[in-house]
Structure 1
Amino acid sequence: MNRRAWLLFLLVSFLWGIPYFLIKVAIEDLSPIVVVAGRIAIGALVLIPVAAARGSLAKLRGHTGPVLALSAVHILVPFTLITYGETHISSSLTGLLIAIEPAVIALLMARTEPLNRGRVLGLLVGFAGVAVLVGVDVSGDRWGLLGAAMVLLAALSYAVATILVQRRLSDVPAEALTGATTTISAVILIPFALLALPSEPVGLPAWGALAVLGVFCTAVALLAFYQLIGLAGANRAGLVTYLNPVVAVLLGVLLLDEHLAPSTVAAFALIAAGCWLSTRPSPAPTAPTTPAPVSQPAKVVAGLPSTPGTASDG
């Protein structure tokens, strides 16, 4: 990846590492549906003027189907699943479970990027890490299992969205694409959010968390991520989930007093190792070596060596 791709990678890794903490803060005073609809609506209000100013909204023509699909799999479904999932599990665990996304992308792209032994091993190791993580952290807690299942479905949805952007929407400018998907999602969710508005006063931390979620973790992060897909491809762009959990865990442990057990760290290590193995590029096939032509026996001339360039004896 070039320098710009690396900068986008680091930016998205940070901006998508902090939402889990912010969601936990926001849902203290706001219902999950209000948080989801609010952050998406704020994102749309930021993105649509940017796209209009750049004159890129016209590039959406002819892409209605893929844009609607992307609105569902990259905004509507995962944002809702993650927010409701965090009502049952910690922000740290949420970030760690999302880390399985690169392995899911590798599995979904197996038809175009065949799985070799290393990638298959990576998938097995990564999913074993998820099994350990879920088994240790939420075993016996049916609501915790439900929350974990929601987050894993969100990771699957993110993986589908990443591939969809690369295959069907790579020619659409990022600001037009993000503006359209957030607007569509907001229009769908706002009526439900209006029915769940809080009746009690909402604290400043919740409103602040919602504002940051909308402007930075939605608008800015989506713009950066779609540009990253265009520069680095779906597999590499999905690797932002290597760093997301680190940010999520640090914020959860330091600011929310969430517990981090050694077994959780070990499980994440398995997930990270599995994702790394499953997304490694396949080794390039070695070209068959053409045997050198067998030369005809050289004629021996008196006083000269039989092989050119070889000194004569004595």
Structure 2
Amino acid sequence: MTARGWFLFSLMGVVWGIPYLLIKVAVEDLSPSVVVFTRCALGALLLLPFALRQGGLLRTVRAHWAPMLAFACIEIIGPWFTLTDAERHLSSSTAGLLIAGVPIVGVLAARLFGDAEVLGVRRITGLALGLAGVGVLTLPHLTGGDARSLAEVFLTVVGYATAPLIAARRLKDVPTLQLIVPCLTLSALVYAPAAAASRPASLPSATVLACLAALGVVCTAVAFVAFLELIKEVGPTRSTVITYVNPAIAVAAGAVFLDESLTATILAAFALILTGSVLATAAGPKRDATGLERVAEAAETEAVGSKRDAVGPEGR
């Protein structure tokens, strides 16, 4: 990975590790619709002037509206609401750890999209370990009335794992800002009616307002620009490996700022999910290209010889 890639990777590991804490604080006083709307609206307003300055924004939307709509629905409109709603009942640590399963689902999604790379024993083992970690983390919640919240986080994971594939395959030539601004704007419009209907009767506390501002500015505007640049730099599957770092940030933030406990179950799940994700996204076995290269070289030599015979000495 290049120095630029490592910088983007490190930045994303932090800025998408803290939203779980910020969301947990915000949903104590606000509805999920208000949180998602504010986050999207702030991000769109901040990035819109820069997108307009590039020029061609409307032309880009007309040319790529279908994959952009799919990306907005799968990356933002659906996952941000389900994650925010789930954190009304789950701790920020639990949500962050479950999101760490994104690389595992990303491997499976890539194969469904036509990736023919052989998984191998190591990657299959990684998938099994990751799923075991998710099981360790979720089983205690299944009997506590949190099954819906767990399902919402699972939907979020699927969206986060699938959207980068769409961005890499169908939107790789679209400038980052001209992709993010329409998607955030559409998302804000979708949630505007529900946010208006569930708006608080009084102004939220300064802490909640600060969390909303951080979600919109840092975790949305800055983070999305960095994330799409990371996809272009290292590819869709490797870009999801930022979730190796995110859960550590989420667990640490939850423990420090929200007094969330670090139980043996959480630590065991963290170890299993992290190890499984690393193994599941490791490079697949390389093909032995020596024989293929020899065949290609022989074919090229034969083709050159045939051309020379056909043209003759005068043709040089």
State yes or no: 1:11 paired with 2:11. yes
Q: How does 1:179-194 map to 2 (within 5 A)?
A: 179-194=181-196
How much does 1:61 deviate?
3.4
What's the counterpart of residue 297 of structure 2?
A: none
State yes or no: 1:140 paired with 2:143. yes
Q: 1:3-26 CA deviation, whole Å, 9 max, x = no partner?
A: 001101111111100111001111
How much does 1:283 deviate?
2.0
Q: Secondary structure at the match of 1:21?
A: helix
Whichever residue aligns with residue 40 of structure 1, its letter is: C
Counterpart CA distance in 1 for 2:156 and 2:291 is: 48
Counterpart CA distance in 2 for 1:117 and 1:47 is: 44
What's the counterpart of residue 106 of structure 1?
A: 107
What's the counterpart of residue 48 of structure 1?
A: 48
Counterpart CA distance in 2 for 1:81 and 1:289 is: 50
Whichever residue aligns with residue 215 of structure 1, its letter is: V
How much does 1:117 deviate?
2.1
State yes or no: 1:214 paired with 2:216. yes
Counterpart CA distance in 2 for 1:107 and 1:175 is: 29
State yes or no: 1:227 paired with 2:233. no
Q: 1:99-139 CA deviation, whole Å, 9 max, x = no partner?
A: 00001111111231332222222111111110111113x14
Structure exhibiting the larger radius of gyration computed from Cα positions: 1
Counterpart CA distance in 2 for 1:79 and 1:114 is: 32
Q: 1:248-289 CA deviation, whole Å, 9 max, x = no partner?
A: 111101110111101211111111111111111112122467
What's the counterpart of residue 118 of structure 1?
A: 122
How much does 1:200 deviate?
3.3
What's the counterpart of residue 303 of structure 1?
A: none
Counterpart CA distance in 1 for 2:239 and 2:289 is: 30
Residues 120, 285 of structure 2: 8 Å contact kept: no
Residues 125, 274 of structure 1: 8 Å contact kept: yes
Counterpart CA distance in 1 for 2:275 and 2:29 is: 38
Q: How does 1:142-157 map to 2 (within 5 A)?
A: 142=145, 144-157=146-159
Counterpart CA distance in 2 for 1:287 and 1:177 is: 38
Whichever residue aligns with residue 220 of structure 2, its letter is: T
Counterpart CA distance in 2 for 1:126 and 1:46 is: 37
What's the counterpart of residue 66 of structure 2?
A: 65
Q: Provide the aligned C-alpha RMSD in A.
A: 1.4
Q: How does 1:1-314 map to 2 (within 5 A)?
A: 1-57=1-57, 58-110=59-111, 111-112=114-115, 113-136=117-140, 138-142=141-145, 144-287=146-289
Q: Secondary structure at the match of 1:109?
A: helix
Counterpart CA distance in 1 for 2:203 and 2:153 is: 29
Residues 60, 172 of structure 1: 8 Å contact kept: no
Number of matched pairs: 288
Whichever residue aligns with residue 90 of structure 2, its letter is: I
Q: Secondary structure at the match of 1:170?
A: coil
Residues 56, 175 of structure 1: 8 Å contact kept: no
Kindly indicate which of the two structures has a greater share of residues assigned to helix: 2
Q: Secondary structure at the match of 1:264?
A: helix
Residues 28, 88 of structure 2: 8 Å contact kept: no
Unaligned 5+ runs, structure 2: 293-316
Q: State the TM-score, normalizing by the size of structure 1.
A: 0.89
Q: Secondary structure at the match of 1:63?
A: helix
What's the counterpart of residue 299 of structure 2?
A: none
Q: State the TM-score, normalizing by the size of structure 2.
A: 0.88
With 277-286 and 16-25 compared, the bigger mean Cα shift is at: 277-286
What's the counterpart of residue 307 of structure 1?
A: none
Unaligned 5+ runs, structure 1: 291-314
Residues 88, 146 of structure 1: 8 Å contact kept: no
